[in-house]
Structure 1
Amino acid sequence: SHQSGDASPEVRWSGVPAACLELVLTCEDPDAPGGTFVHWALAGIPPERDGLGAGEERPRIAKGRNGFGENGYGGPQPPAGDPPHRYVFTLYALRRPSGLTSGFSADDLRAALKDNTVLATSTLIGTYAR
């Protein structure tokens, strides 16, 4: 969580399409009071990777700006007393490199995904409440 050190979770995947040239990973909270809140956005993940370890930082992976205004992971921080929030992790397999560099915004990411041919996606949803 955002209160306890903000170490990103371990995330694993398999079945990346052979034509994939880049992976993009996002984590968003669609239940946030102000609308969907970006907790994590990474671009430039090599397609041969099968995951990321907990707290893993890779200099060649571009870290997007999260809803806290920081580059990289920002853990869950739902308002106290709210029902559990959903945290949606989505992995995108891209046909072409996104061209995103560290500090990219959610709008930059949406534009890159729109302009890029997404070969496949995979989604995992977890919940958290305080």
Structure 2
Amino acid sequence: MKKTLLVITLPISFSLLSPAFADTLVLTSTDVAHGKVMSKAQVFEGFGCSGGNVSPQLSWSGAPEGTEAFAIQVYDPDAPTGSGWWHWQLVNIPKHVNSLAAGVGDSSKNMLPMGSISITNDYGVAGFGGACPPEGHGTHRYQYTIHALSKKLELPEGASNALAGYMINSHSLVSSTIEATYER
């Protein structure tokens, strides 16, 4: 007796099979690129560094369902502090916002999206602080990360970078990072 194998194919969307790929948050920038050296525009002005201290243009897409806000983190894990260096943390970016223009991180310009909160960076300023690795210390990595948050964060006034980071990570649905470099 001959056996016949019957194969039935159904049109199934790949996104239905893999929910992890259904919403993929992607961070892009016209000013910084993954694996590339940052320009002087994103270098701090002070602490022996001479740059523009301009936060880069950032855009994102692919936020998952349930996103209630966004947070941006800019971090140097190579700073010789024992805990890295926080260059910028911006929380509670409204869920309808999907880009930030270059220079938004300058708190004196009052350009942040309504309701967003800049955490005081490790330079002691509530806003963006550019790259400024110690001279001769080698190449440092600067991680620009966008997080889609499940809720707006409730942070006390003067919250530390550690507390902000904890709350961001506790409520992050998904994130995307551009890791640029700089040395002097």
The structure with higher relative contact order (CA 8 Å, sep 6+) is 1
1:77 is aligned to: 132
Q: CA–CA distance in 2 between the matches of 1:117 and 1:81?
A: 38
1:121 is aligned to: 175
* Kept after mapping to 2: 8 A contact 1:78/1:129: yes
Q: Secondary structure at the match of 1:13?
A: strand
Shift of 1:101: 6.3
2:85 is aligned to: 37
Shift of 1:46: 1.1
> Do structure 1's residue 89 and structure 2's residue 127 form an aligned pair?
no
Identity of aligned residues (%): 34
Q: Secondary structure at the match of 1:109?
A: helix
Q: Which runs of 4+ in 1 moved over 2 A?
A: 100-104
Q: Which runs of 5+ in 2 are unaligned?
A: 1-42, 46-50, 105-110
Structure with greater strand percent: 1
The alignment yields a C-alpha RMSD, in angstroms, of: 1.7
Structure with greater helix percent: 2
Q: Which runs of 5+ in 1 are unaligned?
A: none
TM-score using structure 1 length: 0.89
> Do structure 1's residue 2 and structure 2's residue 44 form an aligned pair?
yes
TM-score using structure 2 length: 0.65
- Bigger Rg over Cα: 2
Shift of 1:42: 0.2
**Alpha-carbon spacing, 1:42–1:91, altered in 2? closer, same or farther (3 Å):** same
CA offsets 1:29-58 (integer angstroms, 9 cap, x no match)? 000011310000000101221111100231
Q: Report the number of matched residues.
A: 129
One-letter amino acid of the structure 1 residue matched with residue 77 of structure 2: P
